Each structure stands twice: as C-alpha cells, then as structure tokens.
Amino acid sequence: MTNAEISAALFLSEATVKSHVGSLLRKLSLRDRVQLAVFAHEHGLAGPTRSP
C-alpha cells in the first residue's frame, strides 16, 4: 500500500505513516519497502489473506 492508502485506512496523516515506515526500515536495517514486505511475510506478519 502507498503511504496515502495506509494513512486513509488508519486515519493517520501521511507524514506519520512515512515516519513509522522510516523507523521500521532503520530499526530492521532494511533498504526499502520491498525488503520490509519480504521481512513481514517471512516472519508471518503479512500474507495474501491478511488485510491492513
């Protein structure tokens, strides 16, 4: 999902979503959102049937 889609679904500002995504990338030492999605999938945090 894009920052805009996430912010709309969670009733947050896009800036807040961007900040949280950036924090996750830093804390997990990941390069981009693709790596974050792979990490989430590998650790059972996301999948094709899971919705935000």
Query: How far is residue 2's CA from residue 6's CA, in Å, rounded to a whole number?
Result: 6
Q: Which domain holds residue 28?
A: 3-42
Residue 52 is predicted with a pLDDT of 55
More confident residue, 52 or 30: 30
* In a domain? residue 37: yes
- pLDDT over 70 at 50, yes or no: no
* In a domain? residue 49: no
Share of the chain above pLDDT 90, in %: 85
Domain count, the chain: 1
- pLDDT over 80 at 51, yes or no: no
Segment 16-29 shows an average pLDDT of 98
- Phi/psi for 35 (5° steps) reads -65, -35
Residue 23 is predicted with a pLDDT of 98
